[in-house]
Amino acid sequence: MLRRALAIAEVALSAPTPQAASEGFFSALGGLGASYLQTRIYRRPVMPLTSAAHFAAGGIVSRIAPETWRAGTPAFDYVCFENNPLLEAIRGGMTRYRFTDFAPREKAHYGTYWEAMSEAGIGDAVCATSYGRDRTITSLHLGFREPDLSPDDALALQLAGLMLTERLMTFAAPPSPDEEVRLTDRERDALAWVAEGKSDWEISVILGLSETTVRFHVDNGRRKLGAVNRAQAVARLAAARLL
């Protein structure tokens, strides 16, 4: 899974600009059927998070979408202002999710939502979000025309997307030399096995440690990386080419 995600994100990780990173990421998807991309670098509003405040924060880096998908059109305005369930993911600090996690297709309430989304060629989308200093947020929305994206495909794309959003974060606030992250060998080893999908118990067997010690090293590494969860920690390691 990690190798597949790295293969998708490789072009983005070496791109010289946020636009090149975004567009290179989209181009690397090949035959996976992606129909839409939006990336942003913005600061979370200090006011209560509403649809209007979220939109006003701006920061669009790239948007690959039909010409008709823009503010002022009925479908766009409905999704962005009248019925935007994705705000819950930001309030909860989630780093990866699918549109259908918050707008289930089987619920009649979201029928109009998905009808509007179809005008942008979106049957479902995977999302990746990174959270940085001073309320900085970088995000990716990656849409697919067909809604039946497999769980394995979705996970690989989300992990690759987190690598992209971590790369975008470097354009927002490049780290200074005194902020360089220094992980111990054990912390890096433990997180590398997390990246391979291993459980704490499996890592404990591989490294010859107790599960408690493994959790200690993983959590220490995550904190040093400033990540909100393990998935973001792995993405930050990959984006920094430390895996």
Residues 93 and 31 in one domain: yes
Residues 144 and 33 in one domain: yes
pLDDT digits (tens, 9 = 90+) for 188-221: 889 888 888 889 999 999 899 899 999 899 988 8
Higher pLDDT, 42 or 4: 42
Residues 112 and 198 in one domain: no
Residues 167 and 143 in one domain: yes
pLDDT given for residue 175 in this prediction: 55
pLDDT digits (tens, 9 = 90+) for 122-143: 999 999 999 988 889 999 999 9
Domain of 67, CATH number, reads 3.30.450.80
Residues 47 and 136 in one domain: yes
Residues 235 and 139 in one domain: no
- List C-alpha distances in Å: 96 to 67, 71, 109, 131, 171: 27, 25, 23, 12, 20
pLDDT digits (tens, 9 = 90+) for 62-95: 999 998 898 889 999 999 988 899 999 988 889 9
Quote the domain boundaries for residue 219. 179-239
pTM here is 0.76
Residues 111 and 207 in one domain: no
Residues 112 and 194 in one domain: no
pLDDT given for residue 226 in this prediction: 78
